Amino acid sequence: MTVASKIAADPRLDGLTVPAGGWPTAARSSALMRLQTMGLPVKRDEYWRYTDPSALVCEAPLPCDPLQTSTPIFGTVDKTRLVFVDGVFDADQSDAPELAGVEITRLFEVNDLDLHWAQGLYGKLEEAGQSPVARPLAALNTAQATEGMLVRVTGKPEKPLHISYRQSSKTSEAILHHVIKVEAGAELTLLETGTPGARSNVVLEVDIADGGTLHHVRPQGRAHGRHVATHLFARVATEATLKSFTLSLNGQLTRNEIVTEIVGDDAAVHVGGACVGDGDAFHHDDTVFITHDAVNCESRQVFKKVLRNGATGVFQGKILVKAGAQKTDGYQISQALLLDGDSQFLAKPELEIYADDVACSHGSTSGAIDEDAMFYLRSRGVPEKEAQNLLVIAFLGEALDEIENEDLAADLQSRLEAWFSRHST
């Protein structure tokens, strides 16, 4: 009855059809059915308690001025770059999609290409991630996306794969769905950068086989007016490693969901993020759900936010340790530095544990800048604004430390420093 009433109550889905095109059509249809059962998110949903989804689901995207960037991100890092402009692949601006040890196929062109590995994944990890909490925007994405990359990693490519988003239209809507399969023992660094569109819905399904590794580093651009929903669904097998880091500067609404299931023993998942929000139009939400379903695995969540002038930050993070997932080492920390009394941080850390031999900890703090440290720096001659910037960068630096590649971390750090020196009030 609830299901039926919800369908009836969500006219926003009326007339929604799925794009046709090869084998993904079936996965899209199935996702649409899921979506119709769930309905689109509304503010009164418990999972959207701290973040109003209306701008993500209203009929047309709210306009967002594209940002002209001067210095290309990770400019000094050699990489294979795939460019999407307003959510559409742009071959002319991209490198040839060739990288030793990696097979790359554009979702738009997949038709009936026989990609067994992808057919078994597309929409499947998203579907698995719908329980125990519904994630309708991800189902919407699976049902609607025609763009994205299907990436199979069979070796250890010598350089990162770079998915680069650019926004050129003020009202573009970008729906992108990528699938990354890291085969046994393979390893990839995936860079995902920029703002896809005025409104973006991006899903990343990641399957890491035994002993495989994925490093994912995602600076989300600086466009002020952007509305973004992302989902990272990952399945992590025995002795596999997933490390994902997201940097968010500006943006009106960002909801980054990470849903990871650890299914093999001795695996590790590290997810982290740093976010800087300025102004009451800023709202940033990290929602993380990590399921331990194997023995002797480690997970880390490290999320830091700096908020000022009325900005809002949200963290919902959960560690679920299933029965039998012994020797789990789960760690979660979410911290906000509030630079004034107008900003707010809403945190909901959760642990749910059904195994008896585990070590799980979580912490969440929000506070002002350390006045003793400020005085110490100033007493050495460092001017107030500079001292504050030093302390803010240091605070975020503890999250940046989660990035293993030092060149990538240094690039993001210099971007943060530049942001703060430009925005010193």
Partner 1 sequence: MLEIKNLHVQLEDEDKQILKGVDLTVGAGQVHAIMGPNGSGKSTLSYVLSGKSGYEVTDGTAMLGDVDLLDLDPEERAAAGLFLAFQYPVEIPGVGNMTFLRTAVNSQRKARGEDEMSAGDFLKFIREKAKSLKIDADMLKRPVNVGFSGGEKKRNEILQMAMLEPKMCILDETDSGLDVDAMKLVAEGVNALRSEGRSFLVITHYQRLLDHIKPDVVHIMADGRIIKSGGPELALEVENNGYADLLAEVA
Q: Which is nearer to partner 1, 237 or 387 (CB)?
A: 387
d(CA 13, CA 33): 11
The three-class DSSP label of residue 337 is strand
CB neighbours of 159 closer than 8 A, spacing ≥ 6?
Answer: 77, 78, 79, 80, 99, 189
Binds partner 1 by CB under 8 A, chosen from 95, 329, 398, 417: 398
Torsion, Cα 82 154 185 205, to 10 degrees, reads 50
Q: Which is nearer to partner 1, 13 or 382 (CB)?
A: 382
Q: Which is nearer to partner 1, 354 or 376 (CB)?
A: 376
Binds partner 1 by CB under 8 A, chosen from 340, 350, 384, 407: 384
375 binds partner 1 (CB under 8 A): yes
377 binds partner 1 (CB under 8 A): yes
Binds partner 1 by CB under 8 A, chosen from 132, 159, 383, 406: 383
380 binds partner 1 (CB under 8 A): yes
Torsion, Cα 61 62 65 70, to 10 degrees, reads -60
Binds partner 1 by CB under 8 A, chosen from 353, 397, 404, 415: 397
CB neighbours of 212 closer than 8 A, spacing ≥ 6?
Answer: 153, 182, 183, 184, 185, 186, 187, 237, 240, 241
Q: How far is the CB of 363 from partner 1 (least distance, A)?
A: 15
Phi (first) and psi of residue 327, to 5 degrees: 60, 25
Q: Which is nearer to partner 1, 199 or 304 (CB)?
A: 304
Q: Which is nearer to partner 1, 311 or 393 (CB)?
A: 393
386 binds partner 1 (CB under 8 A): yes
Q: Which is nearer to partner 1, 321 or 393 (CB)?
A: 393
CB neighbours of 361 closer than 8 A, spacing ≥ 6?
Answer: 330, 331, 332
66 secondary structure, DSSP code:
P
Q: How many residues bind partner 1 (CB under 8 A)?
A: 23
The three-class DSSP label of residue 268 is strand
Binds partner 1 by CB under 8 A, chosen from 168, 361, 376, 424: 376
Q: How far is the CB of 383 from partner 1 (least distance, A)?
A: 5
15 binds partner 1 (CB under 8 A): no
Cis preceding linkage at 132, omega within 30? yes
> Which residues are at the interface with partner 1 (CB under 8 A)?
370-373, 375-384, 386-387, 390-391, 393-395, 397-398
